[in-house]
A = this chain, B = another copy of it.
C-alpha cells in the first residue's frame, strides 16, 4: 500500500481515502444511495446547503416578503456577492467576478466588448472542436459586427493569436480534459496586442487556478459543473479590475445601469463589472448557487487538483490495462477533472454502467467521460466503479438491446 502515486488496488484506494484531506466534504452533499456519480463535470451533485437555500428563497423570501426581498434578502446584490465567492477559486479579487446570464451570453458580451475597445485587431479566433457554443457565438458575432472570423483547426489558436485579435479558448478541453498552456497563450497575446477570453467551464472548482498571478485578464465560466450550483445556474464573468471600466457590453439592460431605479432614458453603465448584468437575474437559481459555493470554504484548491489527478491516473491505468484508448493526457500528467475512454460501443456501455448505479456520460462518436469531482467522490468508490466497468466489458453486458436506445440528453 502506498499513498504516493495513485491507487492500484482496492486496499490502496482505501488507504488514500483514509489520508484524504477532502474526505470530510462529502457529507456537505446530498448524494443518492447506491449511486457512484461520475458526471460532476456535466452537472455537479447537490450541496445540502444549496437545497436548503432553494427552499428558503422560494418558500420564505418569495412567499412571505415577496418583492421586499430584493432588499431584505439582498437579491439585488446576488450577482456581486456570488461572484465574490467564485473569485478565490480563480485566484482573483472579489470585485473581479460577477454572476449573470449563461456562459454562452457572457462570451458574446466579453468578445464584443473587447472588439469595441479598439485595442485589438478586429479578428475573432476560435478553434474547431472547441465547445460548440463558443464556436457558434464567435462566428455569429463576427458576422454581425463585421470582424474577421478565424476558425482554426483544433489547437491552432495559439499560432493564430500571433497575428493579433481576440481568442476564445477553453482552459480544459470538454472532451479530453487536456489543459491548455495558459502562459504560452498569454505571452502570445501580449506580444501581438491580442486578448484571450478563457472559458473556465471545465476548470473552475477542480483546478488550482491563479488567474491574477498568471496574467489572464478575461474569462467566463459556468457554475453547474464542479461548482455544484444547480442545473443551469447562471454563468460568471471575470475581468481584471484595471480593464473593467473600458468595456462596453453589447447587451445593456436596466439592471446594469449606473442608476437602475431612476429609470433613465439614456444608458450609463454601472461602475465595474455590474455593467454586464442585463435583465433581471433568475433569483431561485442564483441564490441557490450562492449557497452552493459555501462548500468550498476552507478547501485547499491544490488538494482538489491533486485528488482529481490521482483519480484520473487510477482510471487511465485501468483503461490502459484493458487495452482501451483514451484521448485524455496520460497517467502522470496534469489534466482537468474528467478522463475519457474510447470504445465503439461507448453509448451502450455508459447505459449498462448506469444500470448498475454508475453514472457517466457519453460524447459522440465513441467517448465515455468519467467525471472525478474531488469534493464528493472517494478513491474506493471510483475503484469499485472501475471494477464494474471491467466486468461489463468482460461479460459484454452492453450488448443487451435495451442499452442501444438513445435518450434525448446524453
Q: Which residues of A are at the interface with B, using a C-beta cutoff of 8 A?
A: 30, 32, 37, 39, 42-43, 45-46, 50-51, 54-55, 57-59, 61-71, 75-77, 101-105, 108, 112, 128-129, 131-133, 135-137, 139-141, 144-146, 151, 222, 224, 230-235, 249-254, 257, 260-267, 278-286, 288, 354, 359, 361, 363-364, 407-410
Contacts and interface: CB of A to CB of B under 8 A. Distances in A.
A54 B287 CA distance: 13
A43 B364 CA distance: 43
A295 to B, nearest CB: 14
B284 A54 contact: yes
Contacts of A101: 101-102, 105, 279
B279 A132 contact: no
Contacts of A264: 132
Given A54-B55, A58-B46, A409-B71, A103 B279 contact: yes
B129 A265 contact: yes
B62 A39 contact: no
The 8 closest A-B pairs by CB, nearest first: A102-B279, A104-B279, A282-B285, A231-B283, A54-B58, A104-B253, A282-B282, A70-B409
A297 to B, nearest CB: 21
Given A58-B288, A62-B230, A278-B102, A132 B67 contact: no
Given A46-B58, A136-B257, A267-B136, A230 B112 contact: no
Contact of A262 (B278, B286, B364): B364
Contacts of A57: 54, 231
Given A45-B63, A101-B279, A263-B363, 13 more contacts: A37-B66, A42-B67, A51-B62, A54-B59, A70-B231, A71-B407, A105-B278, A133-B254, A140-B249, A151-B265, A224-B280, A231-B280, A285-B285
